């Protein structure tokens, strides 16, 4: 019993071989002239929320499913089921076959084929997570809330303090000879704090990420939430103008995810990318090198296999400012006359899309403090709002709300908020004048790093 709640402990484990056996049985039922792909997934998740020293909620969820694609004569049929019970996979296969009849022929439609790229040995599974007592997870959430409240006298409340974890196991099999499995764990702590001073209230968040509970740092997550919530107290609007801007890692990672989205072969082929037709061009300042590397075990989104069962790999997207590559799944690669980059993304309930999984910038030589010290007059942007809805992926135009700190004489000054920053993605990349050495993986498909942009338009007062 914890805080009056009976907390069960789940010690079960899912075997990759069992899921692969299901996928292989589906593939073995392929009829002559059919290509069949089966994706089988089993996931377990825990989420614990603490509030005012008590457990507000404790959820332990389990999901499983199978998705099947059938390709015949250039037509594709797809179906899925959110269960692995009984003969569900047989029924899904029949539904996929039925759906083939309604599909439009496409000469590029086919199941992926093995490409000989070896799978990276990433060790993304930690058995200690599955055996970790639920009571200890609850205690961690409660301690996170306590430390967040105690971190600063101006903290008046904790909107949420949460522990979460997941175990994801998957398998892919195809009639073309692909066989792949994956087994990954992940966990996190997150806190949202409320700070008040002179009748003004601000919020801030902090988090800690890992593969197992022992990787998590309660003190770090609590102090980050307290700092982010208190540092904006007393903020005012800055003057409008064009000014040097420093993007902190949390903000730069969000911009990098948008850039990576426009480097998808699917986006290019559908006319939704500002980089369409620009392979080989200079698209950024020479100091920018951008890679997508799902084989980096430090990435929270690392994985050895993509959504089609091919090995993931390190893809160099931009080298010294030059656009080198778009990311592809097998279908978009065929359309482009190239090879898959191991970048298929999907769940069992969808057909393969395309996406970068673990984007990061090659680090520079200077730390954030040194970069700030080199700026006489500027802004440190520490938060943006409405970024994804405020960016046009075709033109590159963006305008987003922002908050942060003024930079005066190489030092951080007063907080500022309720202003917008605007430019185009293209111009911002060209106007990069410095990259920090503080690359850090965040709870998204990109790592953040301090970036200095020579000039952005700021709309304030």
pLDDT digits (tens, 9 = 90+) for 101-155: 999 999 999 999 999 999 999 999 999 999 999 999 999 999 999 999 999 999 9
Q: What is 287-329 written as a DSSP string?
A: T--EEE-TT-TTSTT--SB-TTSPBP--EEEEETTEE---B--
Four-point Cα dihedral 309, 310, 311, 316, nearest 10: -130
Q: Measured between alpha carbons, how far is 404 from 456 in angstroms, rounded to an integer? A: 14
Tell me what pLDDT residue 341 has. Answer: 98
**In this model, does residue 8 exceed pLDDT 50?**
no
**Any residues with CB less than 8 A from the CB of 383 and at least 6 apart, and which?**
228, 250, 251, 402, 403, 404
Q: Measured between alpha carbons, how far is 357 from 309 in angstroms, rounded to an integer? A: 15
**Any residues with CB less than 8 A from the CB of 199 and at least 6 apart, and which?**
none
Q: What mean pLDDT comes out for the span 276-292? A: 97
What are the Cα distances from residue 254, in Å, to 316, 357, 450?
19, 13, 12
Residue 61 is classified by DSSP as E
Encoded tokens for 92: 């899904």
Model confidence at 7, pLDDT cuts 50, 70, 90, reads very low
Q: Measured between alpha carbons, how far is 458 from 461 in angstroms, rounded to an integer? A: 9
Q: Are 235 and 417 in contact (CB under 8 A)?
A: yes
Task: Work out the number of other CB atoms within 10 angstroms of the CB of residue 84.
Answer: 16
Q: Measured between alpha carbons, how far is 293 from 327 in angstroms, rounded to an integer? A: 11
Q: What is 264-282 written as a DSSP string?
A: BHHHHHTT--TTTT-TTSB
Tell me what pLDDT residue 6 has. Answer: 35
Q: Whole-angstrom distance between the N-terminal and C-terminal Cα of the chain? A: 55
Q: Measured between alpha carbons, how far is 99 from 82 in angstroms, rounded to an integer? A: 18
What are the Cα distances from residue 135, in Å, to 9, 52, 57, 216?
8, 18, 13, 16
Average pLDDT over all residues of the chain: 94
Tell me what pLDDT residue 307 has. Answer: 97
**In this model, does residue 370 exceed pLDDT 80?**
yes
25: exposed, middle or buried (Cβ count in 10 Å: 0-12, 13-18, 19+): middle
Tell me what pLDDT residue 390 has. Answer: 78
Encoded tokens for 350: 């969808």
Pick from 8-17, 131-140, 282-291, 425-434: least confident: 8-17
Report the residue count for the chain: 461
For the chain, list the domains and their CATH numbers: 16-229 (3.30.2290.10), 235-461 (no CATH)
**Any residues with CB less than 8 A from the CB of 25 and at least 6 apart, and which?**
89
Q: CA torsion sign, 110 to 116 to 122 to 126?
A: positive
**In this model, does residue 380 exceed pLDDT 80?**
yes
Identify the residue with better confidence: 7 or 370: 370
Tell me what pLDDT residue 15 has. Answer: 85
pLDDT digits (tens, 9 = 90+) for 29-58: 999 999 999 999 999 999 999 999 999 999
Q: Are 240 and 458 in contact (CB under 8 A)?
A: yes
pLDDT digits (tens, 9 = 90+) for 161-215: 999 999 999 999 999 999 999 999 999 999 999 999 998 999 999 999 999 999 9
Q: What mean pLDDT comes out for the span 89-103? A: 97
**In this model, does residue 441 exceed pLDDT 60?**
yes
Q: What is 379-423 written as a DSSP string?
A: EEEEEEESTGGGB-TTT-EEEEEEEEEEEETTEEEEEEEEEEEEE
Q: Measured between alpha carbons, how far is 342 from 323 in angstroms, rounded to an integer? A: 18
Tell me what pLDDT residue 179 has. Answer: 98
Q: Are 444 and 255 in contact (CB under 8 A)?
A: no
Q: Are 77 and 92 in contact (CB under 8 A)?
A: no
Encoded tokens for 436: 């920090």
């Amino acid at each position: 019993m914890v805080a009056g709640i009976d907390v069960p402990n789940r010690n079960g484990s899912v075997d990759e071989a069992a899921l692969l056996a299901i996928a292989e049985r589906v593939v073995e039922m392929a009829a002559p002239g059919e290509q069949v792909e089966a994706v089988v997934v089993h996931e377990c998740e825990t989420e614990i929320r603490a509030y005012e020293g008590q457990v507000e909620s404790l959820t332990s969820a389990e999901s499983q499913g199978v998705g099947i694609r059938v390709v015949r004569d250039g037509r594709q049929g797809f179906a899925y089921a959110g269960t692995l019970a009984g003969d569900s996979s047989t029924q899904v296969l029949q539904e996929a076959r039925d759906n083939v009849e309604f599909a439009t022929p496409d000469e590029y439609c086919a199941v992926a084929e093995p490409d000989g790229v070896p799978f990276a040995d990433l060790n993304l599974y930690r058995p200690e997570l599955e055996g970790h007592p639920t009571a200890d997870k609850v205690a961690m959430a409660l301690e996170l809330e306590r430390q967040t409240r105690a971190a600063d006298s101006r903290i008046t409340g904790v909107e949420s303090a949460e522990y979460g974890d997941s175990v994801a196991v998957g398998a892919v099999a195809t009639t073309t000879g692909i066989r792949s499995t994956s087994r990954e764990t992940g966990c996190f702590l997150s806190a949202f704090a409320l700070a008040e001073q002179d009748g003004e209230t601000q919020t801030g968040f902090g988090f800690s990420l890992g593969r197992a509970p022992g990787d998590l740092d309660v003190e770090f997550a609590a102090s980050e939430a307290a700092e982010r919530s208190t540092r904006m107290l007393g903020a005012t609007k800055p003057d409008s103008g064009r000014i040097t801007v420093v993007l902190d890692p949390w903000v730069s990672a969000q911009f990098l995810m948008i850039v990576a989205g426009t480097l998808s072969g699917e986006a290019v082929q559908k006319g939704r990318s500002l980089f369409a037709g620009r392979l080989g061009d200079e698209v950024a300042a020479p100091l920018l090198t951008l890679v997508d590397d799902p084989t980096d075990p430090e990435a929270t989104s690392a994985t050895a296999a993509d959504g089609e069962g091919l090995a993931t790999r390190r893809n160099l997207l931009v080298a010294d400012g030059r656009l080198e590559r778009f990311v592809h799944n097998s279908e978009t690669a065929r359309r482009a006359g190239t090879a898959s980059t191991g970048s298929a993304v999907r769940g069992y309930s969808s057909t393969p899309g395309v996406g970068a999984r673990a984007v990061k910038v090659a680090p520079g030589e200077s730390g954030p403090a040194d970069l700030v010290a080199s700026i006489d007059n500027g802004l440190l942007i520490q938060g943006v709002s409405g970024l994804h809805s405020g960016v046009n992926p075709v033109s590159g135009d963006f305008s987003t709300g922002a908050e942060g700190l003024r930079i005066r004489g190489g030092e951080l000054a007063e907080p500022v908020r309720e202003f917008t920053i605007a430019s185009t993605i293209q111009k911002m990349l060209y106007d990069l004048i410095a990259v920090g050495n503080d690359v850090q993986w965040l709870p998204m498909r990109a790592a953040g790093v301090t970036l200095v942009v020579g000039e952005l338009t700021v709309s304030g007062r």
